[in-house]
Amino acid sequence: GGAIVNIIADIWHGWPEFAHSGAARGGMHTLSETAACEWAHSGVRVNSLAPGGIASSGFDTYPPELQARLLEYPAQVPMQRYGTESEIAAGIVFLLSPAAAFITGTCLRIDGGAPNRRQTWTGRYPATNVKEFNGFHRGVKPKVLGG
């Protein structure tokens, strides 16, 4: 037995000039689904995890014009913030744990509801009770986001 978690980027939307990336992302998702079927009889679970916008120190390496755009993203997401590295780690820990014993061949999206955003809805109500989880490691907020 065992468990595998493949990390994939957003596979639900294409981006102009990134056809190669879309093919790879979709392929990894399908590989995870196929392996889940093929290896289930051996007790091996295979899932994928798709992070949404996650605040990381990598943001600080972006050019200034892109850093300015990073500040706009939270307003477009129902939870009105970036996710944390710890929230991704928690999803991985869950999928690898015995608590996920009957979960295989699926993709866990950790994205603050980003695919459900609607131009007329997001931001209608302030996200006053949305709390971050930073419990697994020394999470560092990017400087561009006030860290």
Count Cβ atoms within 10 A of the Cβ of residue 51 and give its class: 0-12 exposed, 13-18 middle, 19 or more buried: buried
Number of separate domains in the chain: 1
Residue type, 91: G
Q: 118: domain range?
A: 2-145
Distance of CA 72 to the CA centre of its chain: 18
Helix ranges restricted to H, 11-136: 19-39, 64-70, 85-96
Residue 106 belongs to a domain with what CATH number? 3.40.50.720
Q: What is the mean pLDDT of each run of 10 residues along the chain (147 residues)?
A: 93 80 90 97 97 90 89 88 94 97 97 79 67 72 80
| Largest CA-CA distance found in the chain, in angstroms, rounded | 51
- Residue 10: per-residue pLDDT: 76
- Whether the pTM exceeds 0.85: the reply is no
**What does residue 2 show for φ and ψ, rounded to 5 degrees?**
155, -175
Rg (CA), the chain: 17
